[in-house]
Amino acid sequence: SLTLAKRAGQIIKDVQTSGTSLDIVDKGHNDPQTKADRASQQLIISNLTKHFPQLTIRGEENIPIEKSAATSDIDELIGSNLNEVLQAKCPNEFQDLQEKDLVVWVDPLDGTREFTEGRLEGVTVLIGFATKGNAIGGIIHQPFYVNGNEFGRSVWGLVHSGVYGKCQMNSTPLPGRIVAGSLSHRSKTVVDAVNACQPTEVLQAGGCGYKALLVLERRVHAYVHASRGCSLWDTCAPEAVLKAAGGMLTDVFGKGISYLPTDDTSVKTGVLATMENHEWYAQQIREKITML
Ligand SMILES: Nc1ncnc2c1ncn2[C@@H]1O[C@H](COP(=O)(O)O)[C@@H](OP(=O)(O)O)[C@H]1O
Ligand SMILES: [Mg+2]
């Protein structure tokens, strides 16, 4: 999956630099899909299915998956990521997990609105793993990340094991109370919930995966999205990565999210993510907001 997330990121970059039409399909209110979303999902799901046919896989895009999209160059690339992956210790409780016990939630391109508008930092590829309804592992790949000579990065985590890849935890305490909120999906309730947290600063940014990285690296104190708009593929990988680092991602009222493979994939009670003081934020929101 790490290999696939990186390769999908390259496909997204290739689409962006090709300068050709993004072939945008409007999936509904403020929910675009581009050819990069479709190609990324084809690649990830066809290859995962080829290697692990018994997995339950749910992807954001409603497209038929073609077996021919699984290519052998992926098999060769997997070797180059094995060392990185094998450094992680698999916790005892997951050692007996079988393919059929896992549900994989795939967001092939999180932050599509930002992608179409050229705000590329917020674009991520998200692959999350759940068992018995709980998020246990996840990859957040950020194809347009730039840091010196580094272009693109993957951050991944396994609950009770740790967080791996390229992330830089801010070690100095962050002043004030900085709350990250949506840039492209703002309603009165979304704004009210952010304000309920008494922010000293609000950072509007695109993408659920990107905002989870802001929380993880302690560039914001909390990510709050009081909307019914996020889906399980948006939150599974971010939740697993944050939990692996000792943080939390729940609905805005502080209640856990179930990742069982139901037909209804929307996270109807919003998203709250923090590394500390999670319950305080949930309490502030509960006092001001009763329903979304
Ligand atoms: N009100 C809403 N309507 C539609 N989609 C929403 C939404 N709120 C959040 N989302 C989805 O949640 C993800 C993060 O949103 P945001 O950037 O506003 O934080 C985006 O995923 P995708 O880009 O994968 O479609 C977006 O589509
Ligand atoms: Mg998404």
pLDDT band with cut points at 50, 70 and 90 for residue 90: very high
C-alpha span between 193 and 211 (Å, rounded)? 16
Tens of pLDDT, residues 97-127? 999 999 999 999 999 999 999 999 999 999 9
For residue 189, name the pLDDT band (cuts at 50, 70, 90).
Answer: very high
Q: Are residues 30 and 159 in the same domain?
A: yes
pLDDT given at position 106: 98
pLDDT at 138 (0 to 100): 98
Is there a single domain that holds both residue 124 and residue 33?
A: yes
pLDDT at 289 over 90: yes
- Residue 264 annotated as part of some ligand binding site: no
Binding site annotation covers 107?
yes
DSSP string, 234-283: HHHHHHHHHHHTT-EEE-TTSPPPP----S--B-TT-EEEESS-HHHHHH
Q: Considering only CA atoms, which of 209, 204, 208 is closest in space to residue 194?
A: 204
Ion ligand 2 nearby residues (CB, 5 A): 107, 110, 234
- Residues flanking ligand 1, CB < 6 Å: 30-31, 60, 107, 110-113, 182, 184-185, 206-208, 225, 227, 229-230, 234
How far is the first Cα of the chain from the last one, in angstroms, to the nearest whole number? 34
Note whether residue 283 is domain-resident.
yes
Please check whether residue 145 is in contact with residue 152, taking contact to mean a CB–CB distance below 8 angstroms. Answer: yes
Phi, psi of 211 (to 5 degrees): -70, -30
Global ipTM: 0.96
Check: CB of residue 177 under 8 Å from CB of residue 221: yes
Asked if residue 220 belongs to a domain, the reply is: yes
Q: Does the pTM of the predicted model rise above 0.95?
A: yes
Boundaries of domain holding 277:
178-288
Pocket test for ligand 1, best of 41, 185, 257 (most atoms within 8 A of CB): 185
pLDDT band (50, 70, 90) for residue 88? very high
Where residue 277 sits, what CATH number does that domain have?
A: 3.40.190.80
